Structure 1
Amino acid sequence: MEKLSVNGTEYEIKKLLGKGKGGYSYLAEKDGKQYVVKQIHHEPCSYYQFGNKIQSEIDDYKRLSAIGIKMPAMLEVDVDNERIAKEFIDGETIYDLVLEDKMQSDYIDQVKAMCKLLYPANTNIDYFPTNFVVNNNGEIFYIDYECNDYMEEWNFENWGIKYWSKTPDFLKYVDEHK
């Protein structure tokens, strides 16, 4: 079984959870407990410009923590190897819930409550539904740390909501990513 270390602490990789614009996230295990280990990548992304990705993760985590967004704890950062160990939130993504026709209006209410914290702080997050997990208690967590200064065109109401139900935009994305 493959292992990844974060500052010398080894995590056994169980499976790939997903690939984003900035890295690969893996379900990992250490001492019988589950974690997420994110490995930053430097693959090109045509629609997004990056600076120092690992520093951005740290800065974005601090910014969202100060705002009060529910997200997994950043447990450790290995700057040299560009890896992050973070808390694992067990549950289904909003993306999967939309696909399986299991969405609930309460999930949208919860993300709108996040927006009430984010917008006054001049902040947007990536509202794409793969970035949100509903835990076993029905609570939504933003599992990415990416955030940007607020722009109306990228807020939840103008962009994110398009992917929180089986809209033409959502179905097109599903079709293109089979």
Structure 2
Amino acid sequence: MIYPSHVISAFDDLSITLDFPSSNLTFPLVRGSPYLTFSVSNQTSIISLSTIHAILSFSSNQDHTKHTIKLNNDQTWLVYTSSQIHLTNHNLSVITSSGLSGIVRVAVLPDPESEAALDQFSSRYPFSGEAVFGDGFNLEYKWEAKGSGDLLMLAHPLHVNLLKNDDNVAFLEGVNC
């Protein structure tokens, strides 16, 4: 029997969940999330991050749950993990990790001023969302999320003025994700 390499296990208005059964990976791909989020189940032994760009440096915080990767294309990537992992640089473009079970979130750092916001909101992630039409021409986005803290979502610049009238939405000034 041939097993598929990936499976769409769920979808809704604003998200799709992509499973890679042979790798124990699940990706909830949600519109508006500034992070690429995936969950790793069953203590996967090695996670590999690779890029076509040279890795100039990488570092980890004291808890080994936040990792900063600097590339030769002037990008800085932040990798957040729900449990401790240890990274190893095998060559100029591949980093591998020790075993992991939990949540991994990856974000490109658009500018140094945005790092604090990405750190602050890295613990809560959306896994689904729907667009709900209300009375008249009202449209409300409802997100289902897991983790602790508040949820960080991005808005299209044209929608920002509409969202500023919503009491349930807070804006971070000066964040350019």
Normalising by structure 1, report the TM-score: 0.29
Normalized per residue, the structure richer in strand is 2
With a CA cutoff of 8 Å and minimum separation of 6, indicate the structure with the bigger relative contact order: 2
Normalized per residue, the structure richer in helix is 1
The structure having more radius of gyration, on CA atoms, is 2
